[in-house]
Amino acid sequence: MKRFAYLICCVAIACCVAMPVAAQVVSDDMVVTLVGTGGPEITAERAGISTLVETDGQKLLFDVGWGALDGLYKSRVWPQTVTHVFLTHLHSDHISGLPDLWITPWFLLGRTAKLEVWGPVGTQTMVDGMRLMYAHDVEHRANAKFKREDLDIVVHEIRAGVVYAQDGVTVSAVSVEHADGNPAFGYRVQAGKRAVFLTGDCTYGPELVDAAKGVDVLVSNVVAGTPELERSTQWRPVMAKLLLPEQAARLFEETKPRLAVYSHFVKKGLPGAAGDAVIVKRTRDAGYKGPLLIGEDYMRIAVGKTVEMKLVESPLPELYGPQSRF
Ligand SMILES: [Zn+2]
């Protein structure tokens, strides 16, 4: 996949050629990994939406779109170490990677820790249904080594407010507007003075500005189409429940993050890098001149004194056999 990124002003870029396989995070610094940056569209450009926030040894995964397990591996994150999952809402493009993350690291990579899932009302029903769908594995793959109880999932059905607090790291859920995706949440992750905000899927609203003001990194959804498609009755409802580049520009301008990042691209008639360039132009034309990153799968953003985007290009780690740690 061709790397194509815009990064403007005061954000250093470094290509990482010899990264350790797991990100080393100390104190209140954070690493944001764009595990998958696509929407529901079938495209070779981007896998389903999934974003990992790491801070002080904690790994918090936000949404689990299609390909998330593969995306973690390609991001050089051991999949069996990711057990905390926060769902912005229950649309299929945000949860369809959950079964793989749940089952595969359990029987292939020796994960014994239970998954813990935070999400809106309905999450428990979804998890129960998933367990039913995989009843054969649960019943017959379990054995003395791979214990059935390790497949239990702890579910937290949440409302807006602080939903997670552990060793100085907090996650706050913010109610957002996503039409047929409601109830939907954005999430703010705070660790000391560092903060990341993820809009999830939503259109513009003042609640976003309140929650995202002054964060280090703001990860925003974006939707854009050709002028004809944006006017069409078929796509207008889709445009109305996500952030157009002009709305995102307003959000970025009003919150002034150290780095604004687009992820969860929904593009109608705007394929490839040229389509991404249209989104950048519309964002700039709408008045946002600050740091902006067009997210691509496996990008890693280190948040500390500086905000640095790194393209992970070290060899893929060996998951099995003598070279593996497991
Ligand atoms: Zn979505």
- CATH number at 261 reads 3.60.15.10
* 130 within a domain of the structure (yes/no): yes
Q: Tell me how many domains the chain contains.
A: 1
Q: Indicate whether 69 belongs to any domain.
A: yes
Half-sphere exposure of 18 toward its Cβ, with a 13 Å CA cutoff? 0
Q: By residue range, what is the domain housing residue 179?
A: 12-18+25-160+169-312
Cα 298 to ligand 1 centroid, rounded to whole Å: 18
Distance (angstroms) between ligand 1 centre and the Cα of 224 equals 14
pTM greater than 0.85 (yes/no): yes
324 occurs within a structural domain: no
133 within some domain: yes
Instruction: Specify whether the CB–CB gap between 126 and 95 falls below 8 A.
Output: yes
For the stretch 261-317, pLDDT in tens is 999 999 999 999 999 999 999 999 999 999 999 999 999 999 999 999 988 777 887
CA 182 to chain centre: 18
116 or 1, which is more confident: 116
Give the pLDDT confidence score for residue 4 in this predicted structure.
44
Q: Specify the higher pLDDT residue, 228 or 317.
A: 228
Over the stretch 16-66, which tens digit does the pLDDT of each residue have?
A: 333 334 444 445 699 999 999 999 999 999 999 999 999 989 999 999 999
Q: Is residue 323 included in any domain, yes or no?
A: no
60: CA distance to ligand 1 center in Å?
A: 19
Residue at 321 is within a domain: no
Domain annotation covers residue 146:
yes
160-206 pLDDT, tens digit per residue, is 999 999 999 999 999 999 999 999 999 999 999 999 999 999 999 99
The three-state DSSP-derived secondary structure of the chain is CCCCCCCCCCCEEEEECCCCCCCCCCCCCEEEEEEECECCCCCCCCCECEEEEEECCEEEEECCCCCHHHHHHHCCCCHHHCCEEECCCCCHHHHCCHHHHHHHHHHHCCCCCCEEEEECCCHHHHHHHHHHHCHHHHHHCCCCCCCHHHHCEEEEECCCEEEEEECCEEEEEEEECCHHHCCEEEEEEEECCEEEEECCCCCCCHHHHHHHCCCCEEEEEEEEECHHHHHCCCCHHHHHCCCCHHHHHHHHHHHCCCEEEEEEEEEECCCHHHHHHHHHHHHHHCCCCCCEEECCCCEEEEECCCEEEEEECCCCCCCCCCCCCC
Residue at token pair 């990579």: 109
Q: Which residues are catalytic?
A: 93
Q: Is the confidence at residue 237, as pLDDT, over 70?
A: yes
Kindly give the distance from the C-alpha atom of residue 318 to the centroid of ligand 1, in angstroms, as a whole number: 32
Tokens of 21: 């396989």
Give 291 Cα–ligand 1 centroid separation in angstroms.
24
326 in any annotated domain:
no
CA of residue 181 to ligand 1 center, whole Å: 9
Distance 94 CA to ligand 1 centre (A): 6
Name all contacts of 98-104 with Cβ < 8 Å and 24+ positions apart: 98/64, 98/68, 98/130, 99/130, 99/133, 99/134, 100/68, 100/69, 101/61, 101/64, 101/68, 101/69, 101/72, 102/130, 102/134, 102/151, 102/153, 103/134, 103/137, 103/151, 104/69, 104/79
